[in-house]
Structure 1
Amino acid sequence: MARVGGDLFDLSPLTRDVDGRWLAAGGLAAARDALQRGALPLIEDPGHLRVGPPVARPTAVLCIGQNYAAHAAETGSAPPTDPIVFLKHPNTVIGPHDTVTRPAGCDTLDWEVELAVVIGRRTHRLAQRSDAADAIAGYTIANDLSDRRRQMEVSGGQWSKGKIAPGFCPVGPSLVPADEIDPSDLRIASWVNGEPRQDSTTADMIFDVAALIVDLSQYVALEAGDLILTGTPQGVALSGRFPYLQPGDVVETHIDRLGSQRQVIEAAVAAPSRSAIS
């Protein structure tokens, strides 16, 4: 779907999915052109449709840890001098309003609203910051959900065991093209059950978007459709100021000009006992 004002338009005449291949082939420019020509059908009744992630099947989800100084401080850490990088499995990516299942045995489920960068072309070993802009297709919102016990106690310092459960990365609702957004000072916020949790601005990031892309490109060849989660501000449950998420809780996240998410937390369905299996 493409949005113009309050109207939604069907992208299916151009592509089945907004994925890396379509983005690398100039899909966003083609969508703009089709909109201007009136070649995309208006979606008359979008209210019944599920909103999926705005990028289908990313090759990688690369995440930056402790990229806001106040968040590093609330975790008891000094601000990093180099970007901290960890990975989420691509199958963690779900829609922005999908239900999130709290894994069995998890009692430390935490939220993290993040500005997410969508890569638009293969990007490797950039020489300077000015090259980073050409690598970006657009921006969206991600919620980097975490099982803090598994992240801190059983990941061997690597964090990923607490970050990679299915559904632990709601993304969306919108992919806003890079030339329509200045990511340097956007309000970023979250709520749990309507109560404020995080409230900051992307201006507080230690490493800005360009710095992150240049740094990552020294180590990995970024592919079109990849997601980079750029870190979260202070106000998470790990700080000790708020309780961890429970089944029935509602998490809402928001970034100015990118929209809002809403997830309901549900308990995992218990596996049947051996005696109950025929």
Structure 2
Amino acid sequence: MSVLIVIPARYASTRYPGKPLVSLTGATGKAKSLIQRSWEAAQMVKGVDRVVVATDDDRIRTASEAFGAEVVMTSSECANGTERCAEALEHLGGAFDIVVNLQGDAPLTPAWFVEDLVRDLMVDPSADIATPVLRCDGKALNGFLEDRSQGRVGGTTAVFDANRHGLYFSKEVIPYTGKRYADEDATPVFHHVGVYAYRPEALTTYKTWSAGPLERLEGLEQLRFLEQGRTILCTEVEARGRQFWELNNPEDVPRIEAMMAEMSMP
């Protein structure tokens, strides 16, 4: 079973231009770019045959090659990371059994999230895609609610059926609970972690579909699969004491750096 990790990265982010090259300082005081930290996270995943950065920007290519990454140049017309992964797979010849989209704004993604994802997709033939979900504790959920109250888009949440097949993903906090939780409480809300494992057929077909109304409204690329009736398997992962956050806004930089310091990440 051959596995490819693609790290899609674009410079022209609407909410945060130049985000892949933003500097993050670790516990030792050493600063590295977001794209380098994401690439280093990918190197920690076991059972992977190849890791590439997929971009349409020469600045990102230059920075990535400087720290040793293999880079695949993709079109500026790619609407999202999934389309960029599909194009990268085409450039590489398509000879992989599973393609992982490890988005370049999630440098705190633990290796076991990806490993669990690949394992679950391998054993569930009914699923076209797999993606991790993490049960929120009260601290994480209250952070989501605070972001929304301030008009910021924080993490994405997910709901799924008894077979762990995704029902919906949203930038709003779903399901509605109507209450606040203590920091250590387990909650019924699941944080969707922005990592995907695709079967190649589902990935290559994705670009042939137009974005549907839900994808356009939410700005969530995975909704295109649901709107086309494809099955997304939600793999529940364990934090194992690790904190997790994605870099969506400039305000997330000090939050992630604080988490890195607390976890003694260099």
Q: Shared topology, TM-score over 0.5?
A: no
Report the TM-score range of the alignment, normalised by the length of the smaller protein. Answer: under 0.3
More helix by share: 2
TM-score, normalised to structure 1, is: 0.25
